[in-house]
Amino acid sequence: MEIRKIHDKEFKLFIPNSQIRAVISAMADSMNRDLEGRDVIFMGILNGAFMFAAELIKHIAPSCQITFLKLASYAGTSSTGTVKRLIGINEDIHNKTVVILEDIVDTGITLENIIRQLRGYEPGEIRVATLLHKPDAYQKDIVLDYVGLEIPNDFVVGFGLDYKGFGRNLPDIYRVVAS
């Protein structure tokens, strides 16, 4: 069993890179079917979604745009509940199909905040794609249009996801070992 130590916590291998890539490829297949003929802009939420976005976009067939937005809402292993301003919207998204790319939807507080702010720019529609989802932690009613994998309510790192700023570079996803 492969174990990684990051700061004070140990993490064990949970989702290997081959499985992550297969899941993302399947998500792209669904999007390619759904989004054909639409004016689509993908919006990756930094920092966590950079790897997911990079892998996904390689499999997207229709002509599209991709950009990255940023907000910070997480410290350590629990949601702070604080919401921050979305920065980096330089494109005109009026009447476009916006596909939000998230690394993980946990409580959904961050996602709700992002959607509320994006609506102000009057996109045609907003869809949500998340690599990981923790249904047991989810507190919102927002429909998640594309979900890679549903996972238990445990803290995970790797493939863009961090613990206190570290672990984003790991190609696989690791799950915290209960201490």
Enumerate binding residues for ligand IMP (CB under 6 A): 48, 73-74, 79, 102-111, 155-157, 161
Tell which phi-psi region holds residue 108, choosing left (phi > 0), alpha (psi between -120 and 50) or beta.
left
- From its phi and psi, is residue 164 left (phi > 0), alpha (psi between -120 and 50) or beta? left
State which residue, 38 or 177, has the beta carbon closest to ligand IMP.
177
Q: Closer to ligand IMP by CB, 99 or 157: give it.
A: 157
Q: How far is the CB of 126 from ligand IMP (least distance, A)?
A: 16
CB of 33 to ligand IMP, least distance (A): 26
Does the annotation mark 162 as catalytic? no
* Cα–Cα–Cα angle for 88, 21, 39, rounded to 5 degrees: 45
**Catalytic annotation, pick one of 106, 141, 154, 162:** 106
* Bridge partners, 36 (sequence order): none
CB of 40 to ligand IMP, least distance (A): 21
User: Shortest gap between Cβ of 63 and ligand IMP (angstroms)?
Assistant: 28
74 vs 146 by CB, closer to ligand IMP: 74
- Residue 179 CA to residue 170 CA, distance in Å, equals 22
CA separation for the pair 63, 32 (Å, rounded): 10
Backbone φ and ψ of 37, nearest 5°: 85, -5
- Closest CB to ligand IMP among 16 and 124? 16
Residues 6+ apart with CB under 8 A from 176: 9, 10, 11, 77, 154, 155, 156, 157, 163
Catalytic residues: 106
